Structure 1
Amino acid sequence: MWAAAEGGRRSLAEKAYQVISDRLVTLQIRPGAPISDEQVASELGLGRTPVREALKRLESERLVIAYPRRGTFATEVHITDLGYISEVRQQLEPLAAAAAARRLTGRDRAELELLLAELGSAGTKDLRELIRLDVRVHRAIYAATNNPYLEDTLIRYGNLATRIWCLFLDRLPGLADHVLEHGQLLRAVIDGDADRSAGFAAGHVAGFESAIRKVI
């Protein structure tokens, strides 16, 4: 009985985490904005406990910050962090892509094939849909590494990078083309080509940083 209750609580906290994380990463919750656990709980139809657990997790990921007696706020987006974030991703994204190519399971392959097919309609999606598709592709590759530590680390840095991307979304041309670049990466991973996968991943991260710096 206790185990079932504990599992249910964790699943509710996970639900809260997914919703709040998506809003923070896509800047639906603006940097510096206050976050009320009571309001979020009411909106999602959850108790305050799972929401608070989700916010603690998001604080460890540098997406929110809590101040005693002041409350919880979305962290600011500092463009000066771009170089630091890219430095980490330049090392870990190629590592993850190569690992995914080597360790791909049947389930992983099916997920990547679906995403590859969805990329074909990227040109018809709006900006927010493109951002979410970009995130889903990256996270599917992280999951396909079958290394939970690498996956968790890259999700954190990927979220921080996506917030910077969204900050300049209205000034960045060719977002659909940027997302479509994932097609080569996905195909290389699906084909089990670790070297090509790593190369495409490295190029994608470099292209991301370059595009941001051009509009700063």
Structure 2
Amino acid sequence: MQQVATEPGGEEPSLAERAYRVVRDRLVMLEIRPGAPINEEQLGQSLGVGRTPVREALKRLQYERLVTTYPRRGTFATDVNITDLAHISEVRQELEPLAAAQAARRATATDRAALTALRRELGGADSGRQDATELMQLDLQVHRAIYAATHNPYLEDTLVRHDNLATRIWCLFVDRLSDMAGHVEEHGPLIEAIVAGDADKAAYLARSHVVGFEQAVRAAI
């Protein structure tokens, strides 16, 4: 079972929170395939938790459009629909620059240290040492670290949900994308701008990244 981070205060997350995070990332990375049925009992066994935490997690994931429940049929991973890309990008083009700028203004010393560590990891993204899954997981880490550095939980939650949906689309077409490492490496200058406190540059780079992502996916379709 994958490792789950502790809460900011060093506390262990609840069983429901733990189940939510692990299942969420399995859905995002398409380890649970789109349209696949989700068996609560089997999922609980794989996570080492009971059915109640799994049910609580699935309720949250339904709200986040990662699972859907049909009466008398059960719960399924949602399909990945390429027509959603334009809607997701419309939201991200407005909110990603805002998040990057606010992170540049508000990031604490701890935030900047975490981002700097991720910047070092990005240095090896184009070396060919990381496979597609590792690159996408690194991409998710960078985005979530930036959102957390905004210290706006409403903005963070909204962007995490939309980035998760965008990542599912990315995973679906990853075999057709030519320069995945280059896309991930784009985060390097963005992180540097945030750590340096340059809000305007961070906002510009964040928007360019989202626009480039949509263009790359459309070119691969």
TM-score normalised by L of structure 2: 0.92
Going from structure 1 to structure 2, the CA distance change for 1:215 and 1:54 (only over 3 Å counts) comes to same
Q: Percent identity?
A: 66
Find the partner of 1:30 among 21, 27, 33: 33
Going from structure 1 to structure 2, the CA distance change for 1:190 and 1:169 (only over 3 Å counts) comes to same
Which whole-Å CA distance do the structure 2 matches of 1:181 and 1:191 have between them? 16
Which whole-Å CA distance do the structure 1 matches of 2:220 and 2:193 have between them? 30
Which whole-Å CA distance do the structure 1 matches of 2:15 and 2:117 have between them? 27
Amino acid at match of 2:189: Q
Aligned to 1:132: 137
- Alignment length, in residue pairs? 209
In structure 2, the gaps of 5 or more residues are 1-10
Which whole-Å CA distance do the structure 2 matches of 1:22 and 1:71 have between them? 20
Which whole-Å CA distance do the structure 1 matches of 2:190 and 2:12 have between them? 37
Aligned to 1:5: none
1:199 is the counterpart of 2:198 = no
Which deviates the most, 15-24 or 182-191? 15-24
Aligned to 1:174: 179
Which whole-Å CA distance do the structure 2 matches of 1:106 and 1:49 have between them? 38
> Segments of 4+ in structure 1 off by > 4 A?
none
Find the partner of 2:124 among 121, 140, 148: 121
Which whole-Å CA distance do the structure 2 matches of 1:10 and 1:68 have between them? 31
Q: Secondary structure at the match of 2:93?
A: helix
Going from structure 1 to structure 2, the CA distance change for 1:42 and 1:121 (only over 3 Å counts) comes to same
Structure 1 residue 117 displacement after superposition: 0.8
Find the partner of 1:163 among 147, 160, 168: 168
Q: Residue deviations 1:168-192, cap 9 Å, x none?
A: 0000011111100000000000000
Amino acid at match of 2:33: R
Amino acid at match of 2:110: R
Structure 1 residue 10 displacement after superposition: 6.1
Alignment of 1:1-216 (within 5 A): 11-122=14-125, 123=127, 124-216=129-221
Structure with higher helix content: 1
Amino acid at match of 2:75: T
Contact 1:33–1:74, Cα closer than 8 Å, also in 2: yes
Contact 1:35–1:71, Cα closer than 8 Å, also in 2: yes
Q: Residue deviations 1:40-84, cap 9 Å, x none?
A: 101111011111111100000000001121111000111011100
Amino acid at match of 2:39: S
Aligned-residue RMSD, C-alpha: 1.2
TM-score normalised by L of structure 1: 0.95
Amino acid at match of 1:23: R
Q: Residue deviations 1:115-145, cap 9 Å, x none?
A: 0011112231110000000000000000000
Going from structure 1 to structure 2, the CA distance change for 1:210 and 1:39 (only over 3 Å counts) comes to same
Which whole-Å CA distance do the structure 2 matches of 1:56 and 1:191 have between them? 39
Q: Secondary structure at the match of 1:72?
A: strand
Contact 1:90–1:202, Cα closer than 8 Å, also in 2: yes
